[in-house]
Amino acid sequence: MTKTALTNYIKEAICPQYITEEPIVLIRFANFKVSVIGEVMRPGSFVIDNEKISLLEALALAGDMTIYGRRNSLLLIREQNGHRETIRIDMRDKNLVNSPYFYLQQNDVIYVEPNDPRARASGIGAAESITISVVGTLISLTTLIINVLNVKK
């Protein structure tokens, strides 16, 4: 149920029966939460005191993007009416502050993708690293043995 729907429900429940004037109903989230993950300094979920936080403020709470974060393609994951939508956001866009996605909603998730060099570097796993180290060591030892044998001749 949305905040507007809950407000209307409360008004309809109390208005004709208990009071004659139009009531003022204020609904606030007790635990407004957003999550920031990916290439940020401190990824995690953040509970916000008020219900209005911008994309920039959420990134600031997470310690800003690392130098490896892709600034031209943030991913905002938002659930509305049981439907999950993903929105690409370009942080370099000067009209970002006018975007309907500039202010975050309850349970929004911001994913900062790694840039291309970081993504390629993460493609080398532990097994590949060990293999490369062993091959490099063998080449070094072979070169050393050949040089020692050539010096003795």
18 shares its domain with 43: no
The CA distances from residue 28 to 64, 88, 101, 110, in Å, are 28, 28, 20, 22
Which residues, including other chains, have CB under 8 Å from residue 31's CB and lie 6 or more apart?
47
14 shares its domain with 69: no
pLDDT in tens, 55-107: 999 999 999 999 999 999 899 999 988 899 999 999 999 999 999 999 999 89
Residue located via tokens 């940020």: 40
Residues paired with residue 83 on neighbouring β-strands, in sequence order: 80
Which stretches of 71-125 are DSSP H helices? 116-121
Residue 90: how many other CB atoms lie within 10 Å: 14
pLDDT in tens, 29-64: 777 899 999 999 999 999 988 778 999 999 999 999
Q: Calculate mean pLDDT across residues 9-26.
A: 81
Torsion of Cα atoms, 88 then 61 then 115 then 102, to 10°: 20
105 shares its domain with 129: no
Residue 142 lies in domain: 123-152
25 shares its domain with 38: no
Domain count, the chain: 3
46 shares its domain with 75: yes
Mean of the per-residue pLDDT values of the chain: 86
- The per-residue pLDDT for 128 is 72
64 shares its domain with 85: yes
pLDDT in tens, 105-117: 989 999 999 987 7
110 shares its domain with 35: yes
76 shares its domain with 110: yes
